[in-house]
Structures are given as C-alpha cells and as structure tokens.
C-alpha cells in the first residue's frame, strides 16, 4: 500500500485517541477470552454492549465461514464460490445449518431453487429470521420479480454462477477489479461488494493483498467524521489508509500494548471496521461528538455465547502455526 502524504494533514478529535484505545482493549478481550480469564475487561462500555473484534476474521461468523464453509468441503472453484455466496447472502450460521440439516451437503451441482426456497420459507413461517441483522440486503424484486426477498437472492446466486463468476474472478488482477466485478451485479451495492471481496479473498479463489483496496461503509463514515474535525487533503478512503499506515506510531504514542493477531498487523478491512465500532462506542464515551447519522444509542447488548472457538485463519496468511490452544496458554 502506498504511503499517503498530503500537503494538508487531517486534524483529529478526542475520538481519534479513543479509536486506538478501543482497538487495544477489544483485542485484549479477545485474548483474555482465549486465556479463560475471569475478568475480560474493566471497560464498562465494552462489558455492556456488543462490539465486533478488532480483526474481522476473528468474529464468530467469519470464523465459521472460513472453517466450516470455505475450507471444509470441495475446493472446486464453482463450489467454493457457491458456498460463500449462499452463506454470506444470509450471513447467519443458523440459516446455513438449517439448510444443511434438511438438504444435506450444500452444492451448486445439485442446487434446486424450489427445495432451497421451501426450506427457507418454512423457517420464516416458524417465526425465525433467516437473515443476520449485520447489514441490510436489498430485495432484488425489480430485477428477479419475486415478492419474497430470499427467492430473489437465490436467483441472484444462480445468475452469478451461471454467468461464470468463478472464471471471471480468476481473471481479476487485484481486489479493486474484483470489487468492480461484483458491484456490476444487480442488488449488490458498494458496501456489500467490498464485504464479498474480503470473504472471497479468504478462499483460494484469489490471493489479493488486503492492504491494496478499501471501501468505507456507512458506519465507518460516521466513525471517521467523529475522529477527524478536518480531513485536510484526504478523503474517507485515504483516512482509512492513513490510520492503517500509522498504527504502530499511534500505539507507541499512546503507550498502548496492542497484541496483534499472532504476527498479523491490522489490515485496511480491520481499520475500516474499527471506525464503525468506535462510532458506536463514542455514542456513550463521547456523546457530544456527532457523526453523520446522528445516532445516540448502541442497540446491541453484549450477551456472551457459551461456545468455544478454535481459531483458524486462511492458510495463506501463514499464522495458524503460531496459534496457541487454550491448554498451551
């Protein structure tokens, strides 16, 4: 990633320092949980509300995607892509497992629209949600014509695979070109396209540098606005690159002992996500500093899940050999 040097530097607010303190403490919680520590944190806000990990790939859903969806089945490109798109469309572990329980192995070669529709419809009729609340999926009705959103999304997956998306991905030269490819499909906006880029790049379908491309989402834009009172010569994308480049400098300046991901520093996607999380955190910590949306409350309360995660990351990152199990810590 190129080092960004502009004539006019951005001006920071108090939230900028909170950004680095939040990243450090959220990562401390991550390791404290692995260590089975009785006290995860003394930060009252982090104890009360739900926040994602400092590293996107460490979150429960991303871990499930990497281990159970991407690498635990056939590595044929078309099948890998089908599984990623199917899982990420709903972004909900329970939905994936309900489909598996009813259908068996989830494969593109045996994909049957009516069967998948039937299972998902039954889940919805039982009063359960099939979609995660992490982000909103547009309905796609104007393109595919179905009244039920999930039917349009199943048709979108089918449309993408029949159009040879797996082969088109292999022709992409970088994450930027993958992003442009994905955003060309109906119902896929810039936020979703970037999320799909990261998820696809976890697999062996491509191997792009996460430090080459970033696209700020709505929450990150709010966080950036709170961290900087003046952008200087930078735009929002530049500022994500700016902080990612400066992470070691800022941790040292604030005398913070940031524990990275077994040798992997924060990537652009992680720093983008941290802006989104610090936007939420600052609603309580710095209520006088406003972002774009004007939101003042954090909706999600922290509810610990009594499940153990054996952390495992894309093999091409070369960090799995560094991970210590609970018994080794």
Q: Where are the domains of the chain?
A: 11-58+213-328, 74-181
| 171-197 mean pLDDT | 96
Rounded average pLDDT over 149-171: 97
Indicate the average pLDDT of the chain: 93
Please say whether the dihedral angle defined by the alpha carbons of residues 291, 293, 299 and 305, taken in this order, is positive or negative: negative
Q: Where are the alpha helices (DSSP H) in the chain?
A: 14-34, 44-48, 60-64, 77-90, 93-103, 113-125, 141-144, 149-162, 165-170, 175-183, 190-202, 218-227, 236-245, 247-253, 268-285
Of 263, 154, 136, 267, whose CA–CA distance to 202 is shortest? 267
The whole-model pTM stands at 0.94
Which of 81-90, 268-277, 284-293 shows the lowest per-residue confidence on average (mean pLDDT)? 284-293
Q: Report, as an integer, the average pLDDT of 143-154.
A: 94
Residue 281 pLDDT exceeds 80: yes
What is the mean pLDDT of the segment spanning 33-46? 94
Whole-number Å distance between alpha carbons of 134 and 143: 24
Q: Which residue blocks in 9-112 are alpha helix, DSSP H?
A: 14-34, 44-48, 60-64, 77-90, 93-103
229-245: burial string, b at 16+ Cβ within 10 Å, e else? eebeebebbbbbbbbbb
- Is 80's pLDDT higher than 90? yes
Once rounded to an integer, what is the mean pLDDT over residues 22-38? 95
Range with the largest mean pLDDT of 2-11, 54-63, 295-304: 54-63
The pLDDT of residue 60 is above 90: yes
């Amino acid at each position: 990633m190129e080092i960004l040097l502009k004539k006019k530097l951005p001006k920071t607010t108090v939230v900028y320092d909170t950004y680095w303190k939040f990243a450090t403490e959220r990562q401390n919680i991550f390791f404290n949980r692995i260590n089975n520590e009785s006290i995860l944190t003394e930060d009252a806000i982090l104890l009360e509300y739900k926040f994602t990990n400092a590293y996107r790939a460490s979150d429960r859903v991303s871990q499930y995607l990497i281990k159970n969806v991407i690498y635990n089945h056939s590595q044929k490109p078309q099948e890998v892509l089908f599984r990623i798109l199917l899982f990420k469309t709903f972004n909900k572990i329970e939905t994936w497992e309900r489909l598996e329980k009813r259908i068996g192995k989830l494969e593109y070669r045996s994909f049957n629209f009516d069967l998948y529709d039937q299972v998902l419809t039954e889940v919805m009729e039982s009063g359960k949600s099939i979609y995660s609340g992490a982000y909103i999926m547009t309905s796609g009705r104007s393109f595919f014509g179905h009244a039920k959103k999930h039917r349009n999304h199943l048709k979108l997956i089918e449309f993408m695979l029949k159009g040879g998306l797996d082969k088109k991905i292999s022709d992409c030269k970088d994450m930027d070109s993958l992003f442009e490819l994905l955003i060309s499909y109906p119902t896929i906006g810039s936020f979703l396209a970037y999320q799909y880029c990261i998820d696809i790049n976890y697999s062996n379908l491509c191997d792009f540098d996460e430090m080459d491309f970033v696209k700020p989402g709505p929450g990150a834009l709010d966080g950036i606005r709170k961290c900087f009172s003046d952008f200087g010569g930078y735009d929002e994308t530049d500022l994500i690159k700016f902080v990612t480049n400066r992470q070691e400098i800022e941790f040292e300046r604030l005398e913070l002992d940031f524990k990275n991901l077994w040798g992997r520093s924060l990537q652009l996607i992680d720093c983008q996500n941290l802006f989104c999380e610090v936007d939420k955190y600052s609603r309580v910590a710095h209520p006088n500093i406003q972002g774009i949306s004007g939101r003042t409350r954090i909706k999600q309360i922290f509810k610990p899940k009594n499940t153990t995660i054996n952390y495992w990351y894309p093999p091409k990152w070369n960090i799995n050999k560094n991970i210590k199990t609970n018994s080794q810590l």
